[in-house]
Amino acid sequence: METLTLSEEIRERVREARSLVAFSGAGVSRESGLDTFRGAGGLWEKMRPEELATPQAFRADPEKVWRWYAWRFRQAAEAAPNPAHLALARLELEEVFPSFTLVTQNVDGLHRRAGSRNVLELHGTILRAHCNRCGQSRDMGEAIAESSEEPPVCSCGGKYRPSVVWFGEALPDDVFAQAAEESASADLFLSVGTSSTVYPAAGLIEVAKRAGALFVEVNPEPTPFSRLADLRLAAPAGEAVPALVDALSRHR
Ligand code: APR
């Protein structure tokens, strides 16, 4: 993407901003070769979330659910962070803004692998597994190496499951509370690669907008919040985010 020119009004807000929250979804990892969930070619276009991503599905067919997450784990492990992940890490590590928080719905771990540090994983992580009875946590890769066709059994007799948040499950309280707090005090709220349709995560956009944040949306497709965006970049994240980060750095 060529050099991004920001309006004088936005430049002014960027100059004064002290805190930035970046909010990401599956679209930020699309150019790393990972499928999104919705839209053309999305996972939920091909598979039924009720059969794969709910506690009921795990009770009904733990082998099927475990094999599917083992497949997603391998995909994430084989993927590499793309320019969007790297640009967001740069924005944090170069301390372009005094406060930077990355709130992600993704479980793939690519933001951390890109170097991001202050990451809030709203929907958990596919890199960990925990016992569905005693909660004992372990490395997902080791668990899959032990048993790839069915969930390994814990010493307490429970079954290990991926440490992701399934539909119908609550988000980790502390993580969501911190994300809401950061969103409520954000001067800039950057939403990247999310359909903004899954709650309570999508509600963070409303929290930030209501608190007066400058709202920037990066998504080739419109979302229910596009009309509220102060700046909308209808382009792939791998192109738009590096250009945006350059522009933000230039105007600080
Ligand atoms: N760059 C930026 N955005 C992209 C790109 C790209 N290269 N490719 C696709 N997108 C956009 C799509 O237009 C879509 O709006 O990414 C969005 C992905 O939306 P979803 O598939 O709905 O993913 P997400 O918003 O992260 O889903 C939220 O739903 O299934 C659950 O727990 C899962 O965390 C997930 C949650």
Two tokens, residue 39: 């839209």
CA dist 220 and 235 (Å) reads 4
For the whole model, what pTM was predicted? 0.97
Mean pLDDT of 33-60: 95
Residue 88's alpha-carbon distances to 25, 31, 180, in angstroms, are 13, 15, 20
Q: What is the pLDDT of residue 139?
A: 98
124-131 β-sheet, strand order: 137-139, 124-131, 160-164
- CA within 13 Å, CB half, 122: 24
pLDDT by residue (tens digit) across 178-228?
A: 999 999 999 999 999 999 999 999 999 999 999 999 999 999 999 999 999
Probe target for ligand 1 pocket from 50, 69, 175, 219, with the most ligand atoms within 8 Å of CB: 219
pLDDT by residue (tens digit) across 78-97?
A: 999 999 999 999 999 999 99
Annotated catalytic residue, options 111, 123, 130, 251: 123
Q: What radius of gyration do the chain's Cα atoms show?
A: 19
Whether 241 has a pLDDT exceeding 80, the answer reads: yes
Supply the residue whose CA is at minimum distance from atom 17 of ligand 1. 194
Mean pLDDT of 102-129: 98
Minimum-distance ligand 1 atom for the alpha carbon of 24: 26
Longest CA span, the chain:
62
